[in-house]
Amino acid sequence: MARSKPILNSPFVANFMRKLQGKGPSFSLPLSWLEQQLTSIGIASNDLIWQENQKQAADQVSVRNSIFTLRLLGSTDWRNFVETLSSVEQLLRKDSTGIYPQMDFLTRDRYRHIIEKIAKTSPLSETEVAQLVLNLVEQKKQDPHLPERHRLIGYFLVDKGRRELEKLAEMRHSFRQRITRSIDKRPVFLYLSSISALSLLGAIILFYVAYHYGDFSWKMLTLVGLLSLAGSSQLAVSFINWLATIWVRPKLLPRMDFSKEYPRLIAH
């Protein structure tokens, strides 16, 4: 043991001496050697063991507190915590219709993110945009001829009323947003015109190949053109549908939160 020159750190010495003590006279020699080594550096073995025990006890308390903190963090309702601190949430909960507070967390979070997005490209703050939404709701409630959905917060955030909100908030749109909005205005026209253009292009290419590289009569060429148009239209529909699944994002519907209780009208 003396030849190996072990590192005499406190954990090793404390554990080593605890295991050797009480083992009998045969282990007195290594204990004596260890005592001499500690004495040479001015440390008593009993003090070293006591210090190590105190350190391990402190480490156990620290680990126990860390585990308790992690459990507390895991059991904390962070959704409620975030909404409690959100000034936008507190404003939107003043909805006079009483619909907004009954929505689920994901829908409310989506509404808050839309307000945040509008405020980033607008001279108004998030709270000012939220207040503008409430003002629009109150304004629409004064007109009894408007549909019921025009008097909801969601109409101005995820429906057609959003354009009116963005205009009043003086929101600045990027070039990509302008293109997307122009497409959204005429989706059916864009869909049908794209299919027609691709179908016509495919038919023209096939007709051109048959005309220049084949020896067909005009009747046969007319038949080739019609068949080419029918075949290319099928390919065009499949291609445009595939492209639409990539380009067009799905629209999530607002949802109500019935996890705690059902409204009386539904329950009965």
pLDDT greater than 90 at residue 113:
yes
**Listed residue (111, 130, 110, 109) closest to 119, CA to CA:** 130
What residues make up the domain containing 19?
A: 10-75
What Å distances lie between residue 223 and 87, 172, 213, CA to CA? 68, 53, 16
17: confidence class by pLDDT, cuts 50, 70, 90: low
Which token pair is 171? 């929101």
Q: How far apart are CA 60 and CA 180, in angstroms?
A: 59
Q: How far is it, in rounded angstroms, from Cα 27 to Cα 15?
A: 15
Asked, for residue 259, whether it belongs to a domain, the answer is no
Question: Do residue 86 and residue 116 come from a single domain?
Answer: yes
Which range (101-115, 141-155, 176-190) has the least confidence? Answer: 176-190
Token output for 38: 């500690």
Is the pLDDT reported for residue 2 higher than 60?
no
Mean pLDDT of the chain: 81
Among 75, 100, 118, residue at a domain's last position: 75
- Name the band, by pLDDT with cuts 50, 70 and 90, for residue 267: very low
- Cα angle: 223, vertex 229, 235; to 5 degrees: 140
Residue 103 phi/psi, 5-degree rounding, is: -80, 160
- Which of 157, 172, 187 delimits the end of a domain? 172
Residue 207 structure tokens: 């007709």
What is d(CA 116, CA 110) in angstroms, rounded to the nearest whole number? 10
The angle formed by the CA atoms of residues 217, 219 and 223, to the nearest 5 degrees, is: 115
pTM of the predicted model as reported, rounded to 2 decimal places: 0.61
Share of the chain above pLDDT 90, in %: 22
The reply to whether 93 and 167 lie within a common domain is yes
**What residue type is assigned to position 25 of the chain?**
P
Q: Is residue 263 part of a domain?
A: no
Rounded Cα–Cα distance for residues 206 and 221 (Å): 10
Query: Are residue 164 and residue 113 in the same domain, yes or no?
Result: yes
On whether residue 268 sits in a domain, the answer given is no
Give tens-digit pLDDT for 43-79: 666 666 777 777 878 888 889 889 988 888 887 777 8
| Highest mean pLDDT (candidates 41-50, 88-97, 215-224) | 88-97
Nearest CA to 194 out of 247, 250, 249, 241 is that of: 241
Pick from 142, 172, 202: which residue ends a domain?
172
Write the pLDDT tens digit of every residue in 231-253. 888 889 999 899 888 877 788 88
Q: Lowest mean pLDDT of 34-38, 121-125, 163-167, 203-207, name the range.
A: 34-38
Residue 154: DSSP 8-state: G
Average pLDDT on 113-121 reads 93
Determine, yes or no, domain membership for 86: yes
Per DSSP, the three-state class of 103 is: strand
CB atoms within 10 A of CB 13: 20
